[in-house]
Structure 1
Amino acid sequence: MNQLREFYGILKHAFRNLLPIIAVVSFFQFAVMQEVPDGLLSMAVGLGIVVLGVALFLQGLELGIFPIGKNLSNQLAKRGSLVLLMLFGFSLGFAAVIAEPALIAVADQAEVISEGRVNAFTLRLLVATSVGAVVGLGIVRIILGHSLHWYMIAGYLLVVLVTFFAPEEIVGLAYDSGGVTTNIVTVPLIAALGIGLAVSIRGRTALMHGFGLVALAVMVPMISVQLYGIVVYTFGETGDVAGNGLEMEAETDGVADPVAGSLALGMLSDLLVMVRDVLPIIAVVLVFQYLVLRKHIAHLHKVMVGFVLVIVGLYAFVVGLKLGLFPIGESMAEQLIAREQILFVYLFAFCIGFATTMAEPALIAIGEKAEEAAKGQLKGNIIRLLVAAGVAVGITVGVHRIITGDSIHYYIMGGYALVILLTWLSPKYIVALAFDLGGVTTSEVTVPLVTALGIGLATHIEGRSVLIDGFGLIAFASIFPIITVMLYAIGVELVSKARGGAT
């Protein structure tokens, strides 16, 4: 009975989180477009399914993913073997990324854009290996107690330097590839690993040391993909490429493609694909739990139910988005461009960026964990508002770049130069969390909508290349939340010092 009451509370919470999206879509559809959208009933049903999916997902996290992540990190830490911990971190990072559908889509696009110079599978291996290696490095950082800000300052100086030399065709996709490495399942699991490890080591705090693994997993692929791009554009040759390069991951198409003429079989097939994407992570957990630690999983039935709820909730969530949001989001962007209402394009980009981020399940989960770790220093709702505002500003700036046709190089380098400066000035307790929140924003809600917006704009604005100008919005959605969270922390510290001086 208590669990039912708890689930009902999560359901209401999920509905409240979806209200900003409903408000944005309603305003633009009825006040700006002044027309009733086609398929209004299916959209309403879709939004209801989204609410149910988010609630199931969050319940599954609490039952399965957070406990298993924390327990594994605690048990490995007790073993006292740095090699084992690094191997676990590498395996988890690699497994989380290699089967990621969004990365597969980005890798295929990179192959097309480079006219065959970039090999899609090689790129996926490179990104997955980069993430695995850097999660291993992040574990060493937690054990040694190093502050994350030195890692991030050095890393993003390298990011900016590499961007200066990278070919234009690869920059947007390289930054997008960093963004898509962190999805709705892997972010909570990696965060749970870091927090669990930090609280199990004396002298470490969850807020300063537990966060940061997601940030590293986002940053390093940006460097490795651009370096790979420099090499292949310098020494590589063009080759035959299948496809036309315009089919992004088919997340914005139909709810499910029929299999053998049956929609039900098609939906089952899609659900099995989602299970397949999570299987590498489950395999790593089982191998380390039973073959390395040689211990049974505590409360195995609850953990299994948790993983099932995560998968079913995620599937319901994606189906609901396809029914309720993607069609109207894409059509509105196209209609605004067709009507030459550029001011409303900017307003739509800002509003949809804010609204989708507020509904992002991974952000909700990490915001709650950050509030627990901060012990009164931060509020989960304030974190989400700051991140949503950052995404809104970032997407608006990215849309401006597409409309004006400016090079992405200068925007990205300027953005990360500001991030480096703020990292230097920010209170150390906020740095790891701020960078993690930049990675959380590029998940299952934001990525498809933002990608569709970028491609839609580049397609309908004369003189823009879909393959060059249509990508890169995800990078902007990652940069600006880091800036807003750090500015907030700096502001709070200055106010606190001023009050202390006054008394």
Structure 2
Amino acid sequence: MDVFLEKFRGVLLAVLPITVIVAILNVTLTPMGRHLFLSFLVGVIFIVIGLTIFLLGVDIGITPISRQMGTSIAKTNKLWIVIIIGLLLGFAISVAEPSLHVIAQQIDNITAGSIGKIPTVIVVSLGIALMLSLGFVRIVYNIPLNKTMTLLYFVVFVLACFTPEEFFSVSFDSSAAPTGAITVPFILALTVGVSALKKNSKVSEADSFGMVGIVSAGALMAVMIMGILSKTDDLTGTLPRVGTSSFSIMGPFIEKLPIVAGEVGLALLPVIVVFAIFQRFSFKLSKKALNKIVMGFILTFIGLLLFMTGVNGGFIEIGNLIGQKLALTENHVYLVLVGFILGFVVTLAEPAVYVLTSQIEDVTSGYVKGKIVIGTLSLGVGIAVALSMVNIISPNIKLWHFLLPGYVVAIVMSYYVPKLFVGIAFDSGGVASGLMTTT
């Protein structure tokens, strides 16, 4: 109970700033009406309770089994086994990730069906699978992360030169595909398990991070290649307008609940299947330990179900409305300022961010404080959202004007900062673009 209350308090403090800011906007720049605002408040309740239960479930279930899987993979000490398991795990986990299906559907919409949803899901999942295998090989053979990321983003820059301009932003948004609430804790814990067998503790710490950054690059490259091969020069499609057909406050949540339940179940299914296989042939956990893992899965399902229902039922339409009304204001300074503030505070409530910071404190034995990571990460996301607003209101400013120097600076800095922080930095870039932030 003490652990639950501690997590509840942390989540409540994280979500409270978003609630206060939306309440202020409601009575100042973007009035949204009583019905919509009350739906937002109900969504906040869903999110606070759901995120608390989810984080508890991850600690009990997903994190321990993923670490054991990683250790079992590394113990084989056979390259072909490491590569094959990496490919299978990467594809299985990503192909069921709800955020990937959302992005794939958006690509289908904006290309008017010329790039279908299913091909996108398969191609991106293959890209993620290849990068997960590469990440395992990197850890086993002690290949420096900064050199790995330099090579990957050199390939990204080459592909960017041939990617249609209209498809450029879609490609970079797709890098959020492997950063779902289930995928991130699984990949992070898996990486810790693989690197735990390193005899040098400092090397083991550094190698515990960076995998999310690597697989994000895989998703990015996969979508860029699709854009190049499809020769989609003009995005003639449109995204459907977000809305709800219900006039009751609870209507949107009731409407979304069964849909979200299916998505969460689908996302958890590959993890459960993989665990069952490892339990049969490797783990052989006791009945007591197995029951604890099962309880972790149940809590993860319930927590993520409540969280995603709260986001889909109470946050999406509010975000859509705030963006529309701010864009219509004559003073665009408000748009940039609110973009920064919302980018900052929304990151505080991102599930994947908490999973990452928890692992950082665990791996470094508290040497690197999670609160410092969250603070700097939130600041970075706030600045990024503000720059994105500038890009929207200023047609002459292109997305690559921000991305190119940003990635170049990040790559150069990776050769001068401690190795531990290189992995944390690239993983942070991935987890910051999770469900809450992208919504």
Structure-2-length-normalised TM-score: 0.90
Question: Is the contact between residue 97 and residue 131 of structure 1 (CA under 8 Å) also seen in structure 2?
Answer: yes
Q: Compared with structure 1, are the counterparts of its residues 116 and 244 closer, same or farther at alpha carbon in structure 2 (3 Å cutoff)?
A: closer
SS in 1 for 2:35: coil
Larger RCO: Structure 1 or Structure 2 (Cα < 8 Å, ≥ 6 residues apart)? 2
SS in 1 for 2:414: helix
Superposed displacement of residue 382, structure 1: 0.4
The counterpart of 1:223, out of the listed 208, 214, 221, is 221
Aligned to 1:293: 282
SS in 2 for 1:425: coil
Superposed displacement of residue 318, structure 1: 1.7
| Residues 82-91 or 150-159, more deviating | 82-91
- 1:144 is the counterpart of 2:141: yes
- Number of aligned residues: 434
- Measured in 1, the distance between the counterparts of 2:299 and 2:425 equals 28
Q: Compared with structure 1, are the counterparts of its residues 431 and 117 closer, same or farther at alpha carbon in structure 2 (3 Å cutoff)?
A: same
Q: How does 1:23-172 map to 2 (within 5 A)?
A: 23-33=20-30, 37-172=34-169
Letter in 2 for 1:284: V
Letter in 2 for 1:247: P
Question: Is the contact between residue 256 and residue 266 of structure 1 (CA under 8 Å) also seen in structure 2?
Answer: no
The counterpart of 1:208, out of the listed 203, 206, 209, is 206
- Measured in 1, the distance between the counterparts of 2:36 and 2:149 equals 46
Q: Compared with structure 1, are the counterparts of its residues 431 and 297 closer, same or farther at alpha carbon in structure 2 (3 Å cutoff)?
A: farther
Question: Is the contact between residue 256 and residue 267 of structure 1 (CA under 8 Å) also seen in structure 2?
Answer: no
SS in 1 for 2:435: coil
Structure-1-length-normalised TM-score: 0.79
Deviations 1:57-80 (A, max 9, x none): 010011100010011222333333
Letter in 2 for 1:272: G
- Measured in 2, the distance between the counterparts of 1:310 and 1:383 equals 24
| Residues 138-147 or 82-91, more deviating | 82-91
Q: Compared with structure 1, are the counterparts of its residues 32 and 8 closer, same or farther at alpha carbon in structure 2 (3 Å cutoff)?
A: same
Superposed displacement of residue 33, structure 1: 4.3
The counterpart of 2:355, out of the listed 346, 365, 380, is 365
Superposed displacement of residue 412, structure 1: 2.2
Q: Compared with structure 1, are the counterparts of its residues 188 and 35 closer, same or farther at alpha carbon in structure 2 (3 Å cutoff)?
A: closer
- Measured in 1, the distance between the counterparts of 2:108 and 2:40 equals 35
SS in 2 for 1:340: coil
Question: Is the contact between residue 257 and residue 309 of structure 2 (CA under 8 Å) also seen in structure 1?
Answer: no
Superposed displacement of residue 302, structure 1: 1.0
Q: Compared with structure 1, are the counterparts of its residues 206 and 343 closer, same or farther at alpha carbon in structure 2 (3 Å cutoff)?
A: same
SS in 2 for 1:445: helix
Deviations 1:314-343 (A, max 9, x none): 111122224443333222222222232311
- Measured in 2, the distance between the counterparts of 1:37 and 1:63 equals 39
Q: Compared with structure 1, are the counterparts of its residues 156 and 316 closer, same or farther at alpha carbon in structure 2 (3 Å cutoff)?
A: same
- Measured in 1, the distance between the counterparts of 2:148 and 2:304 equals 33
The counterpart of 2:9, out of the listed 7, 12, 22, is 12
Superposed displacement of residue 10, structure 1: 1.2
- Measured in 1, the distance between the counterparts of 2:19 and 2:401 equals 35
Aligned to 1:461: none
> What fraction of aligned residue pairs are identical, expressed as a percent?
27
- Measured in 2, the distance between the counterparts of 1:330 and 1:228 equals 29
Question: Is the contact between residue 343 and residue 381 of structure 2 (CA under 8 Å) also seen in structure 1?
Answer: yes
Superposed displacement of residue 120, structure 1: 3.0
Q: CA RMSD in A?
A: 2.8
Question: Is the contact between residue 93 and residue 135 of structure 1 (CA under 8 Å) also seen in structure 2?
Answer: yes
Question: Is the contact between residue 70 and residue 197 of structure 1 (CA under 8 Å) also seen in structure 2?
Answer: yes
SS in 1 for 2:115: coil
- Measured in 1, the distance between the counterparts of 2:402 and 2:226 equals 21
The counterpart of 2:240, out of the listed 220, 242, 247, is 247
Aligned to 2:271: 281
- 1:199 is the counterpart of 2:196: yes
Aligned to 2:436: 445
Deviations 1:424-459 (A, max 9, x none): 2322221011100100011110112xxxxxxxxxxx
Question: Is the contact between residue 57 and residue 310 of structure 1 (CA under 8 Å) also seen in structure 2?
Answer: yes
- Measured in 2, the distance between the counterparts of 1:324 and 1:120 equals 26
Aligned to 1:433: 424
